[in-house]
Each structure stands twice: as structure tokens, then as C-alpha cells.
Amino acid sequence: MLSQILSDVRRWAERARSLLAAAGRNRYVERVSRKMLAADAWLDSTLFESGRGTRETYERFTLFMDRFHVEGWKRLAVEAACEGFLVAILGGMVLLALAVPAFDLVSDDYLKKEDLAVTFLDRYGQEVGRRGIRHDDAVPFDELPPNLIHALIATEDRRFFDHFGIDVIGTMRAILVDTRGTGNVQGGSSLTQQLAKNLFLSNERTLNRKVNEAFLALWLEWHLSKRQILSLYLDRAYLGGGTFGVQAASQYYFGKSVRDLTLPEAAMIAGLFKAPSKYAPTVNLPAARARANDVLNNMVEAGYLTAGQIYAAQRNPATPIDHSTQEITADWYLDYAYGEVKAMADAGKFGNERVLNVRLALDPAIQQHIEQTIEDQLRENGPYYHAKQSASVLLEPTGALRAMVGGRDYGASQFNRATDAIRQPGSSFKPYLYLTALATGRFHPNTLISAAGLCLGKDYCPHNYDDERAGKLPLISALAMSLNTAAIRLSIEVGEGQAPANSNWLMAKAGRAMLIKTARKMGLTTPLPDTVSLPLGAAGVKMIEHASAYATFANGGKRVPPYATVSVTNGRGELIYDHDRDEPKPVQIFDPHVIAEMNTMLRQVVLGGTGRAADIPGLPVSGKTGTTNGYHDAWFMGFTGNFVCAVWYGNDDYSPMRDKTTGGSIPARTWHDIMTFAQENVEPKPVPGLPAPNAQAIAAAAPPTPAGVAEMGHAARPATLSKASVAALATIASTMQVAQLGHVSTRIDELGAPHATPADAVRQAQRASALP
């Protein structure tokens, strides 16, 4: 009974606790519900009030804007102004995007960038030029003759003191004259723009450079006064004869300080800024005097002088000092060498030394001969071939740069086509492919390759020159004939084993990857896109790198970067750099036996292939021609045991040359003339893999020495030469050249040159010696 009572009590207690808990929960829920209702009411009230406030604000804004409501022509004007404002914003953004790359070229020490004072000596120890702060700005601006400054402004930039760095009026006038096509091309660059180019930019003729030039001109006008700009320009401009600045030009042309220039002399120097090589008095005195007369008339038109004041100067023009016995300048070479020296200085190889005497590998005789040969070829044959430019480098198999010509006229264009231009090499690129094949060990010169037609994919079907067809033939013959179809097939077979055997496309791609690796190993740094036409030379290269890569063939397989600097001494005469001592030794990158096989193939190109015009009897000449589609570029790359030489012809605007202008035509003949001179009085060295040179055959093939020269001695290149010796050798060389022209003319006649034979002989010569 008692247990029953206790059980009931427990049950009632549990139920009581449950009822109390439920009541507590209900109160909590009720409180939460009340708070949520309050929040909902606040939110609804806030949204309502906000909407009402927004409507009231919009109504007030509408009433306010109604005050500006316009109709008719006023509405059109407002809309035009708005559109103009938008265009201005977008234009400003574009200008800012274009300006940033230009301003990135400027550094805080831009006026001290050329703090090196470099004197260059050739390989014989004779001074050949200077670069750096020895442009000579030692003459203060206040001491420059007013006539010189007035002559410059009146002729080059008459609105110099009025414009903001860009002469808009002059630019529009130049554009108008140029578009008329009168042949009188106008220049629209202000003095400030020209200074910007001299301080910060290269001489490359591109739209990007012109855009940067304009922005940098604005930057200079903002940071410098007109007086400072004019002073810097007078000190930095190239004025011919290897001189930079008016003080150096005054010393060179008239043998006096710029302070002492007379009016006719000042006018003659002021006339040089436009085209220093064309108007240099040491090159063309009548043209220089005519230009000086124009400058004097400009000074009258600008109001600086009267007609009576220039009368005496016009009747008694300036006469420069005689430079006829001095050697030709090597400005492209010196520009390259100065860049090399600056790079070494920046790398800390000279310590804190800034006054440097640099001995170069430059051979002035070869340099002069190459410049003259290119000029002669362009003058005599350039119009026929529609070729306006040429470039050449000659170096030793060790990489030592003996000569460099970056174009036809340094005064007209300082752009160095030998080091900065990127041009397609055409078939002169094929040796890298054939070397890649030989290096695999699966190919040899006598390995057969098919030259039949083929297609890679649906769109690329290469053709041979003149649609020549062939079956199977040895690699050595395929290279000598420069067959494009054989090269493409070789790229496929080289890639065999690196890709599925049933896919020519993938095997060709694998072969091209190996080809690119070979080219990089040999020193080519330009972009080499993996395109189907890469084995045929579709990717651009720089001549200096192309020649350095061919040096690998001449030296037995070693990688040798090109260099101009042999040694450097400081201002106290202490040796602080020696190339052989301080630079790494050449690295063997290919097996000598592979290189020997490659050289036998390149030798056949000259003996019986496309490069026959380059052959020199008795010398183991090897090389390769190169011609691009559309005849935009024509090359001959060749070497002996002593030298490697590259020759290129083309046009700066990439306009095509005459049909059939191939590497086997004018480039090969130019190469022959250059190398014949370079090998004179030099003991021929053997080429790896080829028979030793025949000294007797070389002597028999050399042009005869003119009478009277034998008594004076042959134009040898001793360890050192005095200035008198250099002058005498220059006379001997010029005399020999006259005789050699007869020999070369006879050789050209045998080949059927266009300017010396009828049209049918022309076609015959092209068929015989012009393959890509």
C-alpha cells in the first residue's frame, strides 16, 4: 500500500515538472516572438521612411536639374561637350598607357649615364675613335659662338623657343609634304625630340620609337630649360667623321676650337646636323658648301642676319683641313664595342675606373675594304637588284670581331643592321638542321633522303626553288642544292623515335624541338617560333649571332661568343682586363667528328651548289646561301680556317628585291671579294674535316700586284703600325683595288652579271648560281 502511494507521488512529481518546463518554454518563445515582431515593425517603418525620403530627394533633384534643361542647338552643344569629355578621358588613358614605357626608359642619372671616357685602339695599337664623356662638352654654352646657335635654330627648328617639345606646325608640314610624294622627304622632329633619341633611344626606325621619342621630348621640356636642351643637343649630335658634338666636329673639320669658328665655318657645321655623311666637307665639299649657303639664307629668313652680313661668307666659303691620308672611321663597330665596354663596366669588371683605353680586335684595313666593297656593290648593282641596304661582319673562329659594317651610310642611319636588325635567314638556317641530324648518329653526309613533294597537315606544302623536283639523294647533295622538301623530310626523320611513328606532324614537331635546341646551343637568342617552316629559316635572327654560330663550324665545334674588346687599361696604363685571361674558355658543344662531316657538306655548297660564286681557288671555303620568300632578304654565310664572314642584302622597309635575287648572287660575290682581301698575306689555316689549303693555288688566283707596289712592300699587317705606315698601306690598298676591279669585272662577266651582259646571259647566270 505504501509503495503504491510512493509511486503515485513520483508520477505526479514528474508530471508537475513537465508542466513547469513547458510553461517556461512557452514564455521564452513568447518573448522571442515579441522581439521579432518589434524588429519587423522597425524594418518596415525604416524602409517606408527611406522610400519616402528617396522620393522627396529625387523630386528636389528633378526640380533642380530642370533649371539646366536646354533644347535646340544648346542641347546639341551640351551633348557634343559630353562626348568630347568622354573621348578626352579615353584618349588620356591611351596616352598614359603609351607614356609609361617611354618614362620607364628615364633614370635619375640620365645625364651621367655616359660617365665612361673610352679611347679605342685597333688591333695594331692605333687610335680609331672615342666614345663616352669625351664627346667634349668642356666648352660652356656661354662661350659657343652665337652664329652657330642661330644657324642651328634657323635651319633645324625655327620654333624651338615657342613649342613645348613637339613642333606641331613643323610635323604637320612634314606630313603634308611627304604625302604629296614629291621625293623631298621632310623631317618633323624637333631638336628636343632628336635629343630624346640621342639620350634614351636606339636608331631603329619603328613607330614605337617615334611614340617614345615624343613623350620623352615632353619629359625633357618639363625637366630642363631650353638653354639646357640646346646645350645637350649641341654636345650629343653625330656630325660625321666619327665626331659627336660641335667641339669635336670643329676640331676634326677645321682644326680649331668651336669658340673660334668663323661665320662660314659655323654655317657649314650647322648644315651637318641633317645628314652628316652627305654634307661632310671631307666627303663632298661642293655639297657641304651648298648646304652652308642654304644655312646662311635661313639665318637671313629667321632675322638673325641681313643679306649684307652673309655676303662675304657666301663669297668665301669655309675650307676644311685635309683628311685624305687618314683611315676610314668604323662607327658601327665602335658603337658595338662601346656597348660591350659599358656592359662590362656595369658588371664591375673595371672596378671604379672610368677613363679607359680599349684595344679592339678591329682590323682597319679589312673594315675599310668591306665598307668600300658594300658601297661599290650597292652603287653598281643595287639599282638592278632593288637593294638599298647591306651589312656584314667578319670575325675569327675564336669570336674576335675583325670588322663590322651595319649599313650603307652611318651618317644617314646609325641603326646597326649587323647587331640589332632581326631578319629571316632563309636557307642559311638549314645547316643547324643538318647538324642536328648528324649529331644523332643516325645520319651521315651520304645518308639518302627523299626530296619528293609532301604536305604537313592540309595547308603546308613546301616547294623547291623554281619548283625543282628530285627523288632520293644524299644529304650532302640535298644541302648543296638547298632543297626545301628534303629539309622538311629531314626534320621529320630527325624527330623519329621522339613521337609516334605514324604521325609525320608529331615527328616533325619533335624534330623542330631538337633543331631549336641546337640553335640555342650555338648562340641564337632571338625568338624561334615552332612553325612548320622553321627548318627553312622562317624565324628571324641577328647577323652577329648568326655569324658566331657559324664560327662553331670553323673552330671544330666550340661555342664562341663574339667579342670586340681584347684588353683594357686604365688612365695610368695599368692592365685591368684581358679577354683571354678573364673570360671563360670556349666550350666544346659538338663532337669534332660531327663538325668535320658538316664541313664537308658545307664545302660542297661552294664547290658545286648554290654558293659557287663565293669559291676562292686553293682555299677550303665552306658556307651556305640564304634567300627568303618574296626576296626580302639574301644572305651568304661562309668561313675559311681563318675567318667567318656574313653578308646580307635587303631593304629597311622590307620591300622585296628583284626576282631571282638570291644568296648565290650579289651576297656570294660580295663575300668572295671581302674574303679574298682578308686572306691576303695571311697564312691559311685548315678547316676541320677538309683538306689543307693550297698556298700555290691561292697565290695563283690572287689579283696581280700593280707595278711599283712591290718595291714599296705588300700591305702586310704587322704588330704595330705608325700613322705614316697606315697612310702608305691605304694608298697601296687603293691601288690594288683598282687592279682587282678588273679581275672582279672579268669574273662577273663570266657569270653573266646583269649590268655587263645581255638579258639572256642574265637569266643563264641566275639559273647557274642563284638557288635559295
Highest mean pLDDT among 71-85, 98-112, 216-230, 669-683: 669-683
Q: How far from the centroid of its chain's Cα atoms is residue 746's Cα?
A: 36
pLDDT, average across residues 300-323: 90
Lowest-confidence segment of 409-418, 520-529, 735-744 by average pLDDT: 735-744
Lowest-confidence segment of 263-272, 496-505, 559-568 by average pLDDT: 496-505
CATH architecture designation of domain 426-539: 3-Layer(aba) Sandwich (3.40)
Query: Residue 480 has what pLDDT?
Result: 95
Contact 731, 714 (CB under 8 A): no
Highest mean pLDDT among 366-380, 407-421, 697-711: 366-380
> Between helices 430-439 and 484-494, what is the axis angle to 10°?
30
Quick one: pLDDT band at residue 765, thresholds 50, 70, 90?
very low
Q: Return the higher-pLDDT residue of 155 and 7.
A: 155
Query: Residue 47 has what pLDDT?
Result: 84
Distant-in-sequence, close-in-space partners of 688: CB < 8 Å, separation ≥ 6: 553, 554, 555, 556, 557, 592, 595, 596, 599
Query: Residue 757 has what pLDDT?
Result: 32
CA–CA dist 768, 465 (Å, integer): 12
Tens-place pLDDT, residues 623-644: 999 999 999 999 999 999 999 9
Query: Residue 266 has what pLDDT?
Result: 94
Among residues of the chain, what percentage have pLDDT more than 70? 79
Quick one: pLDDT band at residue 425, thresholds 50, 70, 90?
very high
CA–CA dist 210, 508 (Å, integer): 41
pLDDT, average across residues 82-107: 74
Residue 560, φ and ψ in degrees, nearest 5: -130, 100
CA–CA dist 290, 537 (Å, integer): 47
Query: Residue 116 has what pLDDT?
Result: 78
Contact 605, 625 (CB under 8 A): yes
Q: Return the higher-pLDDT residue of 38 and 133.
A: 38
pLDDT, average across residues 269-273: 92
Query: Residue 731 has what pLDDT?
Result: 46
- Whether residue 30 has pLDDT greater than 70: yes
Query: Residue 114 has what pLDDT?
Result: 53
pLDDT, average across residues 93-98: 73
Tens-place pLDDT, residues 99-139: 666 666 666 555 555 567 889 999 999 989 888 765 445 57
Domain 364-418+548-564+617-769 has CATH 3.30.460.20: no
Query: Residue 763 has what pLDDT?
Result: 35
Domain range list for the chain = 2-68, 121-324, 364-418+548-564+617-769, 426-539
Query: Residue 744 has what pLDDT?
Result: 33
Quick one: pLDDT band at residue 75, thresholds 50, 70, 90?
confident
Among residues of the chain, what percentage have pLDDT more than 90? 49
Tens-place pLDDT, residues 280-294: 888 789 999 999 999
Tens-place pLDDT, residues 331-369: 999 999 999 999 999 899 998 888 899 999 999 999 999
Q: Return the higher-pLDDT residue of 350 and 14.
A: 350
Tens-place pLDDT, residues 586-620: 999 999 999 999 999 999 999 999 999 999 998 99
- Whether residue 701 has pLDDT greater than 70: no
Contact 335, 271 (CB under 8 A): no
User: To which residue does cell 613533294 refer?
Assistant: 453
Query: Residue 5 has what pLDDT?
Result: 64
Closest to 241 (Cα-Cα) out of 335, 323, 134, 317: 323
- Whether residue 491 has pLDDT greater than 90: yes
The CATH classification number of 121-324 equals: 1.10.3810.10
- Asked if domains 364-418+548-564+617-769 and 426-539 share a fold, the reply is yes
- Whether residue 555 has pLDDT greater than 70: yes
pLDDT, average across residues 179-201: 68
pLDDT, average across residues 452-469: 85
Burial 550-586 (b: 16+ CB within 10 A, else e): bbbbbbbbbbbebbbbbbbbbeeeeebbebeeeeeeb
Query: Residue 188 has what pLDDT?
Result: 62
The region that residue 155 occupies, defined by phi over 0 for left and psi between -120 and 50 for alpha, beta otherwise, is alpha
Lowest-confidence segment of 95-109, 181-195, 307-321, 705-719 by average pLDDT: 705-719
User: pTM score, two decimals?
Assistant: 0.69
Quick one: pLDDT band at residue 738, thresholds 50, 70, 90?
very low
Q: How many CB atoms lie within 10 A of CB 734?
A: 12
Distant-in-sequence, close-in-space partners of 726: CB < 8 Å, separation ≥ 6: 126, 327, 364
- Whether residue 22 has pLDDT greater than 80: no
Quick one: pLDDT band at residue 68, thresholds 50, 70, 90?
confident
CA–CA dist 666, 613 (Å, integer): 9
Tens-place pLDDT, residues 377-414: 999 999 999 999 999 999 999 999 999 999 998 877 88
